[in-house]
């Protein structure tokens, strides 16, 4: 049977099969021999249902069409896949607590997945001053580039909920990526129209509260597609993300085309078009600094990976 991993918690992965049933499945023995293979949320799988066995068996994990990858927080030379086969990534921030550094990083990871990317700014109701809202939108627009849609939302007065639902058409899967406390669970509840996710207390969420669940589940939105929250994504360490960085900083990549040296690092090289853009006031110093530090992080990962594979060969 073909199926998809729709829930991950402490138990075995829950798989929904094409005939509409859901049951727990374990990975076939063969996987144990190969290195670190896990089923992740969204994985398309082939399962067997052996007679007299209380679980199904995942025989095969299909190639992942899209995937969200971060550096494994425990093992710095390994990537960790958090979700797969989604069509859209919603990066979620609270309008009132915009964190541009974090936004830049999340955008890189989101673009790197190859899926469509959009931004949701929640808690619109908390910013009452319209001038303040448009100032924040300006800031965000400068980070985002023109292609990425922005949705303002509030679960208090239902702002943006219908628009976001419409952006998740039937048969598609969207994932939410954002810090704990920004309102992801509330948003899912609003999209579904009833309480399907527990909503956390802000103080608990931004403190060391371990009460938020570690489970991930794909939720059906009536009349639309499906959605999954990525809770517990605390550290978003960069895995190699050159494509994501290029997509998140198209302005800088465009200037860099005109640098005199192809391997220009935009630090102090002569004929650097990126630094010229900063001097001309076309590009902010802060944005260039973000670009450079993300780039360095991505390169460091690549280096560590090379070192690790060297060690393996020796
Ligand atoms: N004012 C306001 N508060 C919200 C909104 N959405 C969520 N919250 C609050 O923000 C806190 C965290 O919400 P939750 O959905 O659990 O965030 P999550 O950790 O990202 O899933 C809760 O106290 C919610 O009541 C909103 O649109 N407006
Ligand atoms: Mg939540
Ligand atoms: Zn340069």
Rounded average pLDDT over 119-139: 94
Q: Which residue CA neighbors atom 5 of ligand 1 most closely?
A: 123
For 189-233, what is each residue's pLDDT tens digit? Answer: 999 999 998 888 644 444 444 444 568 899 999 999 999 998 656
- Name the DSSP class of 29: H
Q: How far is the CA of 38 from the centre of ligand 1 (A)?
A: 31
Specify the range with the lowest mean pLDDT, choosing from 19-23, 76-80, 125-129, 215-219. Answer: 76-80
**Cα(139)–Cα(49) distance, integer angstroms:** 53
**Cα(35)–Cα(22) distance, integer angstroms:** 27
Decide: 234 and 226 in contact? Cβ < 8 Å.
no
More confident residue, 280 or 34: 280
For 30-80, what is each residue's pLDDT tens digit? Answer: 776 665 678 999 999 999 998 888 899 999 999 999 999 887 777 767 788
More confident residue, 31 or 182: 182
Strand, coil or helix: 88: strand
**Cα(314)–Cα(177) distance, integer angstroms:** 39
**Is the pLDDT confidence value at 313 over 90?**
no
**Is the pLDDT confidence value at 302 over 50?**
yes
How does DSSP assign 113-159, residue by residue? T-SEEEEEEE-GGG---HHHHHHHHHHHHHHH-TTS-EEE--TTT-T
**Is the pLDDT confidence value at 166 over 80?**
yes
Q: How far is the CA of 184 from the centre of ligand 1 (A)?
A: 7
Handedness of CA 102, 107, 109, 110 (dihedral sign): positive
126 lines ligand 1 (CB under 6 A): yes
83 lines ligand 1 (CB under 6 A): no
pTM of the model: 0.88
- What's the chain's average pLDDT? 88
186 lines ligand 1 (CB under 6 A): yes
Q: Which residue CA neighbors atom 6 of ligand 1 most closely?
A: 183
Q: pLDDT class for 312, splitting at 50, 70, 90?
A: low
Q: What's residue 64's pLDDT?
A: 95
* Ligand nearest the Cα atom of residue 277: 3
Residues facing residue 120 across a β-bridge: 92, 151
Rounded average pLDDT over 127-132: 93
Structure-token pair, residue 296: 């360095």
Rounded average pLDDT over 167-179: 96
Q: What's residue 297's pLDDT?
A: 86
233 lines ligand 1 (CB under 6 A): no
Q: What's residue 211's pLDDT?
A: 46
Residues facing residue 173 across a β-bridge: 226
């Amino acid at each position: 049977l073909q199926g998809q991993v729709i829930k991950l918690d402490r138990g075995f992965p829950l798989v929904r099969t094409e005939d509409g049933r859901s049951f727990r499945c374990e990975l076939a023995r063969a996987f144990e021999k190969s290195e670190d293979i896990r089923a992740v949320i969204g994985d398309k799988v082939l399962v067997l249902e052996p007679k007299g066995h209380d679980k199904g068996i995942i025989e095969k994990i299909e190639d992942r069409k899209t995937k969200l990858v971060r550096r494994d927080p425990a093992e710095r030379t390994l990537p960790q896949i958090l979700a797969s086969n989604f069509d859209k990534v919603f990066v979620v921030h609270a309008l009132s607590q915009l964190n541009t550094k974090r936004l830049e990083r999340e955008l890189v990871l989101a673009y790197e997945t190859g899926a469509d990317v959009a931004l949701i700014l929640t808690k619109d109701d908390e910013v009452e001053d319209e001038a303040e809202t448009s100032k924040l939108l300006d800031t965000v627009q400068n980070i985002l580039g023109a292609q990425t849609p922005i949705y303002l939302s509030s679960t208090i007065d239902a702002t943006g909920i219908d628009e976001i639902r419409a952006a998740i058409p039937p048969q598609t899967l969207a994932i939410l990526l954002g810090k704990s406390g920004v309102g992801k669970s509330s948003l899912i509840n609003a999209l579904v129209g009833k309480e399907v996710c527990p909503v956390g207390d802000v103080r608990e969420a931004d403190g060391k509260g371990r009460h938020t669940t570690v489970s991930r589940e794909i939720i059906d939105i009536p009349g639309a597609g499906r959605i999954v929250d990525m809770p517990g994504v605390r550290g978003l360490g960069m895995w190699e993300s050159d494509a994501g960085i290029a997509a998140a900083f198209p302005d800088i990549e465009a200037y860099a085309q005109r640098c005199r040296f192809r391997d220009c690092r935009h630090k102090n090289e002569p004929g650097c078009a990126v630094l010229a853009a900063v001097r001309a006031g076309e590009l902010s110093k802060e944005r260039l600094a973000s670009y450079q530090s993300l780039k360095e992080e991505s390169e460091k990962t690549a280096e560590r990976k090379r070192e690790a594979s060297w060690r393996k060969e020796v």
